[in-house]
A and B are shown apart, each in its own frame.
Chain A
């Protein structure tokens, strides 16, 4: 119940296209859903995050769509650029009794072809 399932494992998109990565969760107690971006040799960096009281959040070319009833959320990258090539992780967490644990998806390696 603590798992977050992410798909696809790898994705190749042409420059200017839309990249879409999907995640699903089981634990309805999760109340925070961030996406992290990781470049080779670097630690993950927070990209965008959403809480379940909204269905969509947009920051520049990055949009999270959230479907609470389906327990799914997705990352959309509009006008994908070669610089977006990285590994993307979705995650989910909740804060209970003074403790918080972020559960990560398995990651999606995104390649944007020029």
Chain B
């Protein structure tokens, strides 16, 4: 079974731009979560989607948004990029809500200049 696929793997943006990151979960997995990983803050929860609905949201500003499609694929968007948004953005999928077991992709590394 293919793992979680995230695209793009690397990208460089400038302040003020916006970015869209994509995540394809493991086949059959219906829950998708997003995390931001930085050296200073560690792994921070962004949001979780299940059946195209956002089920939970972390403490991030409204510039961070996401969505899930009917095929469980998910995208996250960051608008008006700031230098502090430079991070590794990780997507994780799970078979269902509440299983607790997350399968992570390799991440999208965003650099904001």
Contact surface of A with B, Cβ cutoff 8 Å? 32, 34, 36, 41-46, 49, 89, 93, 95, 98-107
Contact = CB atoms under 8 A, between A and B. Distances in A.
Contacts of B61: none
From A32, A45, A100, A101, residue with most partner B Cβ within 10 Å: A100
Given A98-B55, A99-B48, A100-B56, A44 B43 contact: yes
15 contacts: A32-B100, A42-B106, A45-B104, A46-B103, A49-B100, A93-B100, A95-B98, A98-B55, A99-B56, A99-B97, A100-B98, A101-B48, A102-B45, A102-B102, A104-B44
Nearest to B104: A43
B92 to A, nearest CB: 8
Nearest to A32: B100
A44 B104 contact: yes
From A36, A43, A49, residue with most partner B Cβ within 10 Å: A43
A100 B100 contact: yes
B48 A100 contact: yes
B66 interface: no
Interface in B46-62: 48, 50, 55-56, 58
Contacts of A93: 100
